[in-house]
Amino acid sequence: MFMLDWYAHNSRLRTAHPVEKALFALLCLGPALYFSREAVSLAIILLHSIIFLFYLQIPLRFYVKLMLMPLAFLLPGCLAVALELVPAQAGAMMLILPLGSLTLGISPGSFSLAVNILLRSLAALSALYFLALTTPFAQLGWLLRKAKIPAGAVELALLTYRFIFVLADTAHSIYTSQSTRLGYSCRRNTLKSLGLLASGLLIKSLERSRLMHASLVSRCYEGEFPSLETRYSFSLRNWLLIGGVTTALLALSRMPAFF
């Protein structure tokens, strides 16, 4: 997860206007979810894989890991959609497991539905990954503010983002200090040490928030986190690309379904 953040900050598209990036992601996400056409989903997956691997130079291994991660719950879900329990006399089925008067199997209809869902999910995921890999969190905060999301919620999101790293760092140093003292050398120690790590983390977080409050108050904090407007510029090329891709996806949606 930290790699995602690193890629976002060092991305080629880091300085591009956040609205352009968000729009591109949304205009891929929308068609992916709305049109049930495999052609659209495949096109999106292919387009994004080209963008990630060749334009953003994401290493192949990382890309594969990113796409495989959600499969852990996507595959069982699709399998559940594919499997049907029908009366034994039903029409053509692919896998058959007779269960008395019923049959458990995969019909052409359920199979195509499962594949459709899988592709749609992967396409939507690709669109989201695009945003995650090109947009540092501060820009996402800017977008949320522009979208009139309440300031309090955006501030909370930004603070949470910052503190994830602080928490991870602290947890890591507690873990290191414990393991150098054999804290994780056997199962019993591991359980005990993990418990101590969790409680230590809580205590440190409370103490730290106290100190942070002192530093905020020293800078005249009055309950709000004002932010400096960052200026971005639009790029004609990006808008043309967005328009082109959207048109292509709409055209593909007119194609007949694969199954």
Partner 1 sequence: MSNNIIETKGIVFTYADGTRALSDLTLTLPAGKRIAVLGANGSGKTTFFLCLNGILRPQKGEIFFAGEQVRYDKKSLRRLRSRLGIIFQDPEVQLFAANVQQEVAFGPLNLGLAEKEVRRRVRQALALTGMERLAEKATHMLSYGQKKQVAIASILAMEPDVLVADEPTAWLDQLHAGKVMELFHSISKQGTTVIISTHDTDLAFSWAEEIILLEEGKLLGKGPPEAVFLEKELLTATGLRRPLLLEIYFLLKKKGCVTNEAPAPRTLEALAYLIKE
Residue in 25, 234, 229 with CA at minimum distance from that of residue 142: 229
* Least distance (Å) between residue 79 CB and partner 1: 40
Binding site for partner 1 (CB under 8 A): 5-6, 9, 136-138, 141, 158-159, 161-162, 165-166, 169, 208, 211-212, 214-222, 225-230
d(Cα 33, Cα 40) in Å, to the nearest integer?
10
106 vs 140, beta carbon nearer partner 1: 140
64 vs 159, beta carbon nearer partner 1: 159
* Least distance (Å) between residue 166 CB and partner 1: 7
Longest dimension (CA), the chain: 78
* Least distance (Å) between residue 25 CB and partner 1: 20
73 vs 221, beta carbon nearer partner 1: 221
Q: Which tokens go with 102?
A: 């019923």
235 vs 247, beta carbon nearer partner 1: 235
* Least distance (Å) between residue 158 CB and partner 1: 5
Packed helices 151-179 and 137-146: angle between N→C axes, nearest 10 degrees: 160
| Contact criterion met (CB below 8 Å) for 94 and 108 | yes
Angle at 255 between CA 252 and CA 259, to 5 degrees: 120
Residue type, 48: H
88 vs 166, beta carbon nearer partner 1: 166
d(Cα 83, Cα 96) in Å, to the nearest integer?
10
SS3 98: strand
Q: What is the DSSP letter of 56?
A: S
Q: 96-99 and 102-106: which strand pairing?
A: antiparallel
164 vs 248, beta carbon nearer partner 1: 164
* Least distance (Å) between residue 18 CB and partner 1: 13
Residue type, 218: S
* Least distance (Å) between residue 213 CB and partner 1: 9
